[in-house]
Structure 1
Amino acid sequence: MPKSSSKSSARKRRNINFPLKPCMMTTWQRWGTDTTNLKFVPGSTRIRKSEPAGFANPAGAGGLRKECTMIKKIFVMTVAVLVMASLAMAKDIGGVSLPDSLAAGKSSLLLNGAGLRKKLFIKVYAGGLYLVQKNKDPKKVIAADEPMAIRMHFIYDGVSSKKLIAAWNEGFENGTGGNIAPVKEKIDTFNSFFKEEAKKGDIYDIIYVPGQGISVHIKEKLMGVIKGLDFKKAVFAIWLGEKPADKGLRKGMLGE
């Protein structure tokens, strides 16, 4: 074979590119891109570089496998932490997830507790109570002039506006001990926010911020705001009063 052809073939062999993943780098990649001493290991698809005299264990070559193992361990640990964090950030109630926290104005509220609102053994919604600090005393929660919220995540599909308003009126009646006169106008305004049927998956947030009042959010849409600590007390007494809408839900919201 002509020498020029042999040299050309050698150059082509030297210019071969081997696309390898970072953690599959061979020793020759650590040393540089010179492929002069590359050779195939018999019976294997791996490529090895002949080690120069006195360079049987070059710096960094022996630690490559350790480096890759460490990277894999870090990756697995990161995934595990993220999974645990995602589980910690939500509480599963009746097949729906309630977040671990909610925003109320500039305050961040923590999930105090959660439970199910049932009607004749039918799961209507999952409810969560959110407070600045966890509290198991219902009277203190009702009376407190501090940020707090109730989240309702509907499980039952199709609660009519009429049934919602009837439930609110019953709740206000029980929560105030029958003394609804001082907040009657505010109750009427509150009821006017619930004109649509509640469907499965709908989320209602009732949020109280001192100095601003009670705000009602339906599917992330602000329906309106009603001022007054007196009305705030009447609203939270629906779930936490002596005659709550659902005793099991009250117990769950208080973290009992």
Structure 2
Amino acid sequence: MPQHTRRRLVSLVRRHDADLAEAALLIGAEADPRLDVDRALLRLDALADGLRSQGFASGDPHSDAAALSGYLARQQGFDAAPERTPTTVLLPEVLDGKRGVPVTLTTLYVSIARRLRVPAFPIALPGLVVVGIAAGERPLVIDPSQGGERLDEDRLADHVARATTGQLAFRRSMLRPSPAVNVVRRQLNELTRAYLAEQRHLDARWAVELKLLLPNRMPDDHRVHGDLLTQAGQFDRAAAAYETYLDLVGPDASDAEEVRRAAIRARARLN
């Protein structure tokens, strides 16, 4: 991805009105530099126009949710992927193959909804990203990975309990809109795992490097970056990444000694 495109992504995710589709397509441009992001955005506009041409007009949240799910899931055929792969995480591929992981399907739903003036937003639950539609005191929640099915509080509570093995209980505060930067991080986390599962370490590295550019970067990003740089033989950069991780987590972290040794080995291989 050219530096100006990366800057565009970092600037975009800081905006409260960020278009999630644009952010996802900018990630797609890293995977395929031939992708014309602005032209690809026209595909989202066309999808929204398809529902608008059927007489859709935003009004009642329940009707909006039903129309959105009926159009994207049943008419257009967008559905959950059977497994996580790069093609089910990257939005350009999902637009083609119509199978995606929850975070990418949610990005699609929210992006289409907003083009139709439906007040939709992403909700990042433990282990799942879903769509919220403003509906008075509590949002109406739909799950694009289940055909746009509505999730009531009992089902939300059951999901949170299962996703956290009972460590967390569902709270209504979990239904707050998730900032775009958090959704982008979720997508990059999924993409990193997908690339690593396929042993595509070079691709996993750029996914981690994009996470390191985000304002919500995490210490663990530096450790994973160090591992990937070590595999690429870039030992000086790997050592620096490990040392940054150690500076951020401190000496009492459970893996501090292991990472310190990794940094020492990387430095030794420079000689």
Please confirm whether the aligned pair reaches a TM-score higher than 0.5, indicating the same fold. Answer: no
Q: Report the TM-score when normalising by structure 1.
A: 0.24
- The structure with the larger Rg is 1
More helix by share: 2
Q: Report the TM-score when normalising by structure 2.
A: 0.23
